[in-house]
Amino acid sequence: MRVPVIHEAAATGDTAAIYEEIRDRLGFGLVPDVFKLVSTRPSYLRAFWDGYRSVFLEGVLDRDVKELIAAFVAREVACRYCVDAHVLFLDLIGADPGLAASLAVADIDDMAIPEPTRELLRLAHRITHEAYRILDQDFVRLRAVGWSDEQILEAVWTACQFNWVARMVNTLGLSALGQLSERG
């Protein structure tokens, strides 16, 4: 890793407490590697965990849509770890396998997903590549296919969260699931 990390067995104080919360809430029995990237700064770890919870453990969008947005953004910025993690989560939550398969399709228009979801991915694409060019008409289109303002805001929040997470993961050198495993 390009920065030091604190493994679960070595965690103390605030880091240990946040790790315990992550293990309890996610139910995996471990802390995903991505959280360990900021483990030497408990305030960053807390902010990251709070942001993650705000995306995936609450809200009005279906979890599979949020996982798809996260994986899509990760794909767009070439974050292999994030794509793999969120494709795995799509599987773990029992999402339609077609959602994960759609990530192999380069053009959003060619993805075998419902049109309303396609519109959210178009917005995520624009947020990722050209947020400065987003227009009111982009939001009009989202509303026209049935998304509420609350759902749109949540999609924006999800795309923005995963733009920073994927960039942090790439920058700090996390490239594979289990890379920071304490076993083996």
pLDDT tens-digit profile of 133-177? Answer: 999 999 999 999 999 999 999 999 999 999 999 999 999 999 999
- Residue bearing tokens 């969120």: 86
| Statement: residue 58 has pLDDT above 90 | yes
- Measured between alpha carbons, how far is 22 from 34 in angstroms, rounded to an integer? 12
For the chain, how many structural domains are there in total? 2
Q: What is the greatest pairwise CA distance in the chain?
A: 52
At 79, the amino acid letter reads: C
Verify that 45 and 27 share a domain, yes or no: yes
Mean pLDDT of the chain: 96
| Residue carrying structure tokens 């076993």 | 183
Residues 127, 151: one domain? yes
CA angle 148, 99, 171 (to 5 degrees): 90
- Residue of 30, 69, 89 lying closest to 163 (CA atoms): 69
Judge if 71 and 161 occupy the same domain. yes
Which tens digit of pLDDT belongs to each residue from 3-25? 999 999 999 999 999 999 999 99
Domain that holds residue 23: 8-56
What global pTM score does this model have? Answer: 0.96
Residue 70 shares a structural domain with residue 106: yes
